[in-house]
Amino acid sequence: MSRASKRVYDAKTTYPDRTKSEEKSFTEVSVPIKKLDTALLLLNSKEECVLLTIFSHITDFARRQDANVLELRAHRLLELLLEKDLFIASENTMIRRFALYLLTALLDNTDMSTYEPEQADQILEQACRFYMKEVDDFCIEYLTYILNVCLKDPQMAHGIVEATEFLEKFKLVFVSSENPDTVFNSIEALHRMLLVQSAEQMLEFTTLPDFPVDRIICEVTNEFQEIRKAALKTLKTLLADTGDESVFEALHRCYFVLEQLVKVFCENPQGSEAADVIEVLATALRSEKMTKLFFEQNLFDQVVEQLRNHMEMMPLEMRCTIISIFAETAQYEQFLPRMNKAEITDMFLTCLMQNKPAPAAFVIQGLHRMSHHPDALRRIVAAYQEGAVRKLVAIVMSPDVAIKAREQAAEFLSRLLVAAFRDTAAELQEQDIAVVLTAVIAQGQPILSIDLILSLLTIIESLAQNEEYRRILGEYSSLTEQLAQLLMRSFAHSILVNNIFRCLCTLIDEAPVRETLLANYIVSSMKRALKSLSNLVKTSVTNFILQTTRFNEFIDAYIDRGIMEVLLDFQKHAFCISTWGPAIESILSKCPTMKFAIRNCLTFTDITAGKDFYVSRRKFKDFRQFQDILRLDCSPLDAVLVMNFDRPKPNQNDVIAVPLRCLSTITDLPGDQGWGYCKRPGDNNLPQYLEALNQTLAMHGLVENPERVRRSIDFENVAKRSKLIAQAVNAVMSENLKVLDLNSTEECCRNTVRCHLQDLRHVLHTNFIPLGMVRSGCQFERAILFKGLADQIGLPCTLQRSVDGRMLFNELPLPLEPEKDMHCDKKTLKYMPWRMLRPTHVVDLLYNVGELYPMQSRQALQYLRLY
């Protein structure tokens, strides 16, 4: 390096000409500005001194009164600031502060909903860009407020959650900030971000390593009330996630938040924020992990001690608010003994009895949960004398009480009926529970919630388990009527319809209930339920059918009013509704007439005794045609045979008289009397046939003890007894018929039988012919009589119709005994239920009378004229 380069001072040989510089420079201008528009125009200046002066004056103008801010808005100050990008690029910190202050003033005095969506998005976008570059504490404070205001719009809050780089800076600033306003607005903004996220999104967002949960917990004890409230509000949202992978997965953090909350509460149990602290603490204790720490670290004892020390000075409302935390801890039964020992049960009862008109829902919920501890349950039952049940009933009845409290009261009563039925049921009876339930259900929706109605139905079910209380509920017809009407209005809720049907099943044994239901369109509701899209509803109604087919009035209603028709038309549902097929069979098993018309067969368990059995000689493709014949007052074209052993003479109410004026064309009238006909005719011959058969069986020693008949099957004498029945049938139905040979091609003279039936029709004036009057019969007529006599004496027997419908035949179960097959041992099979029997032989009633032909044998096929 040369020596010249090391010189510190060089002498100047030339100097600027000051005269020329002054000539070129613009002299300073000082002009008084009195109009706002002119001042706003100067914001376009690029000189810092001008901007500082104008901003200072505008800021002073905005601070004087709120109306001035609105005037700035009217003069489009916001648009000007946005056009200048909020002066983000300005190197002067004061200019940036003035710009942000004015923006916050505008947002503070106007509603964000008054801005255009594009303008609001522009504010948020520029604020985020500003935030990313800014380091000045005051500017950060203003920007945090602006962000907080913008995030009141859920759409904006949802969009900012996806700005990863911004969030990193935002959380870093929040964690390190000592500015109270920045901390407050940061917590508020975080809370708004959490509110717009789904559970999965919030879990992912809060479990990031840099999420400032610890800072939020610390701010619970901040000296500023607004910050404490914001922190509590955010913590409540975070603590609502009780999963194992939440932000409170670590035990130390769980203990930290519990310790902070208990500390704040214990410092001032009656403070203005005590209720908020208790609410957050109750939310935290919904987690079993939190509750376990709460008891293990003796935080429970600290809260109880503070509560006892200040109980006398606390208002009742505050005391009941505090015990909400115990309502949450009571859901874990392992802590119930310790809670009961600390007299928490008495605290709940005190709040229940002293609050008027009703306590908060969590008080009743806490009692409900405490009732799972035996000592606590005994204390609750002892409170019956103080009017505890009366109070709960009053809460359930009152429409002015909060719906959640009514729900909890009803659920608690149903729990007490399970845990202490005798005492609780007696108390409810004193309160006239049937009237109470009727009045509550009559309130209807929307006054009643679904959960409340479900609890009321559970109460009815529990009471109906006892015969005495079921009778009391059943006699109060208004209750059943309200249930039937509730069912008609509830098809929008599958679970409610299911529970109503289940409740009705418990009451259906009472005759007034059945009568009231049928009078209140239960059949219409059932048809609607059967056509429902919900499998739960279809399952519930078919279960109801299975329960009610024990009663003849319901069987008649199901057949006559279309339930049977719907079940058969929609048999495809049997693939997904397991009770659909059994419901059909349950109805048909009680009505052999319709079962034979539909299935063309009666099995061993289908008994014709004790009821009318109608069989038409014509086979109907659609059972509804035969149903119309039975329902309408007309005589069918084809003979319908009627079998009933219990009606020797017709009921006079069933005889329909035909006046003379309707028979003017008929000359052979008996005297001056008109004709009469009857669809339910009497039959004096069938009882005589049965009596003669019993005498014959007694002569052969084949009459069994009736008790034994119900318990077992006498396989040893099945063939002998069937032969005697077949001979009895042949004896009464062989008039004008000759004996035929099975091996011949000659068949029974059907014309003779047809003429005989026509003669009977002329005598009876109708084609409904009592079977006992038939004296000439082929396989068709004989098979019906054989089935009837067999059912009367307890012989398992089927009745089958051939494919063409012209022939009927009977089958018997006569087990074959292959050698060394223990499953075919008659001693084993004699106690087999009739529904498990399988037909093995066909009975010959026409040729070799009384012979049994094995199924598929040549003789059986010959008898059926299939060979």
- pLDDT-derived band at 82 (thresholds 50, 70, 90) equals confident
What local confidence, expressed as pLDDT, does residue 3 receive? 44
Asked if the model's pLDDT at residue 9 lies above 60, the reply is: no
Backbone torsions φ then ψ of 810, nearest 5 degrees: -115, 145
Looking at the structure of the chain, the number of domains it has is 2
What's the half-sphere exposure (Cβ side, CA atoms, 13 Å) at 207?
15
What local confidence, expressed as pLDDT, does residue 654 receive? 75
Question: Is residue 842 included in any domain, yes or no?
Answer: yes
Question: Is residue 411 included in any domain, yes or no?
Answer: no
Q: Which strands form 640-643's sheet, in the order they lie side by side?
A: 613-616, 640-643, 768-770
296, 301, 302, 306 alpha-carbon torsion, rounded to 10°: 160
Looking at residues 845-863, what average pLDDT do you find? 89
Asked if the model's pLDDT at residue 395 lies above 90, the reply is: yes
Let me know how long the chain is.
Answer: 867
Alpha carbon separation from 59 to 98, 101, 304, 649 (Å, rounded):
7, 8, 54, 111
What local confidence, expressed as pLDDT, does residue 28 receive? 62
- pLDDT-derived band at 188 (thresholds 50, 70, 90) equals very high
Tens of pLDDT, residue by residue over 733-759, are: 988 777 777 777 666 777 888 888 888
Q: What span, in angstroms and rounded, lies between the C-alpha atoms of 595 and 750?
A: 26
The mean pLDDT value of the chain amounts to: 86
- pLDDT-derived band at 270 (thresholds 50, 70, 90) equals confident
Question: Is residue 229 included in any domain, yes or no?
Answer: yes
CA angle 267-269-270, nearest 5°?
A: 125
- pLDDT-derived band at 33 (thresholds 50, 70, 90) equals confident
**What is the sign, positive or negative, of the torsion defined by CA atoms of 412, 416, 418, 421?**
negative
Burial class (CB in 10 A: 0-12, 13-18, 19+), 432: middle
Q: What span, in angstroms and rounded, lies between the C-alpha atoms of 697 and 609?
A: 19
Q: What is the largest CA-CA distance in the chain?
A: 166
- pLDDT-derived band at 184 (thresholds 50, 70, 90) equals very high
Tens of pLDDT, residue by residue over 497-517, are: 999 999 999 999 999 999 999
Range of the domain at 744: 636-659+675-817+824-864
Per-residue b or e along 668-704, where b marks 16 or more CB atoms closer than 10 Å to that residue's CB: eeeeeebbebbbbbbbebbbebbeebeebbeeeebbb
When mean pLDDT is compared over 235-244, 476-485, 764-773, the highest value belongs to 476-485
Please name the amino acid found at residue 441. I
Question: Is residue 626 included in any domain, yes or no?
Answer: no
What local confidence, expressed as pLDDT, does residue 235 receive? 93
- pLDDT-derived band at 27 (thresholds 50, 70, 90) equals low
Report yes or no: 815 and 715 within 8 Å, Cβ to Cβ: yes
What local confidence, expressed as pLDDT, does residue 16 receive? 64
Q: What span, in angstroms and rounded, lies between the C-alpha atoms of 639 and 655?
A: 18
Asked if the model's pLDDT at residue 836 lies above 90, the reply is: no
Q: Is residue 650 reached through a cis peptide bond, with omega within 30 degrees of 0 on the bond before it? A: no
Question: Is residue 483 included in any domain, yes or no?
Answer: no
Alpha carbon separation from 94 to 59, 101, 138 (Å, rounded):
12, 10, 10
Domain boundary among 256, 273, 308: 308
Looking at residues 811-821, what average pLDDT do you find? 67
Tokens of 152: 């009141």
Backbone torsions φ then ψ of 843, nearest 5 degrees: -90, 130
Question: Is residue 797 included in any domain, yes or no?
Answer: yes
Runs of H (alpha helix) within 285-373:
288-296, 299-310, 316-322, 324-329, 336-341, 344-354, 361-370
Question: Is residue 543 included in any domain, yes or no?
Answer: no
Please name the amino acid found at residue 514. R
Asked if the model's pLDDT at residue 633 lies above 80, the reply is: no
Looking at residues 686-706, what average pLDDT do you find? 84
- pLDDT-derived band at 1 (thresholds 50, 70, 90) equals very low
Tens of pLDDT, residue by residue over 343-391, are: 999 999 999 998 888 889 999 999 999 999 999 999 999 999 999 999 9
The DSSP 8-state label assigned to residue 26 in this structure reads P
Q: What span, in angstroms and rounded, lies between the C-alpha atoms of 140 and 182?
A: 7
Asked if the model's pLDDT at residue 669 lies above 50, the reply is: no
Q: What span, in angstroms and rounded, lies between the C-alpha atoms of 520 and 316?
A: 48
Crossing angle between the packed helical segments 522-530 and 494-507, to the nearest 10 degrees: 140
Question: Is residue 595 included in any domain, yes or no?
Answer: no
When mean pLDDT is compared over 8-17, 24-33, 225-234, 746-755, the highest value belongs to 225-234
Three-class DSSP labels, 79-113: HHHHHCHHHCCCCCHHHHHHHHHHHHHHHHHCCHH
Q: What span, in angstroms and rounded, lies between the C-alpha atoms of 596 and 573?
A: 23
Rg, Å, the chain Cα set: 46
pTM of the complete model: 0.81
Tens of pLDDT, residue by residue over 705-727, are: 454 555 556 677 888 899 999 99
Report yes or no: 380 and 388 within 8 Å, Cβ to Cβ: yes
- pLDDT-derived band at 5 (thresholds 50, 70, 90) equals very low
Q: What span, in angstroms and rounded, lies between the C-alpha atoms of 663 and 670?
A: 12
Tens of pLDDT, residue by residue over 116-142, are: 888 888 888 998 989 998 889 999 999
When mean pLDDT is compared over 191-200, 405-414, 824-833, the highest value belongs to 405-414
CA angle 81-86-90, nearest 5°?
A: 125
Q: What span, in angstroms and rounded, lies between the C-alpha atoms of 526 and 547?
A: 13
What proportion of the chain, given as a percentage, has pLDDT over 70? 90
All residues at 6 or more sequence positions from 4 whose CB lies less than 8 Å from its CB, including other chains: none
Asked if the model's pLDDT at residue 599 lies above 80, the reply is: yes
Name the residue with tokens 């004709």: 675
Domain boundary among 293, 308, 323: 308
Domain boundary among 290, 308, 326: 308
Tokens of 308: 């006892």
Burial class (CB in 10 A: 0-12, 13-18, 19+), 705: exposed
Please name the amino acid found at residue 621. K
Asked if the model's pLDDT at residue 804 lies above 90, the reply is: no
Asked if the model's pLDDT at residue 675 lies above 70, the reply is: no
- pLDDT-derived band at 68 (thresholds 50, 70, 90) equals confident
- pLDDT-derived band at 443 (thresholds 50, 70, 90) equals very high
Asked if the model's pLDDT at residue 584 lies above 70, the reply is: yes
The DSSP 8-state label assigned to residue 571 in this structure reads G
Q: What span, in angstroms and rounded, lies between the C-alpha atoms of 396 and 414?
A: 12
Asked if the model's pLDDT at residue 71 lies above 80, the reply is: yes
Q: What span, in angstroms and rounded, lies between the C-alpha atoms of 531 and 491?
A: 11
Asked if the model's pLDDT at residue 410 lies above 90, the reply is: yes
Q: What span, in angstroms and rounded, lies between the C-alpha atoms of 779 and 807?
A: 6
Runs of H (alpha helix) within 700-802:
706-711, 718-732, 750-764, 779-793
Asked if the model's pLDDT at residue 651 lies above 60, the reply is: yes
Three-class DSSP labels, 586-604: HHHHCCHHHHHHHHCEECC
Q: What span, in angstroms and rounded, lies between the C-alpha atoms of 156 and 239?
A: 24
Alpha carbon separation from 221 to 54, 206, 303, 339 (Å, rounded):
42, 21, 17, 28
Tens of pLDDT, residue by residue over 277-287, are: 999 999 999 99
Crossing angle between the packed helical segments 552-560 and 511-519, to the nearest 10 degrees: 20
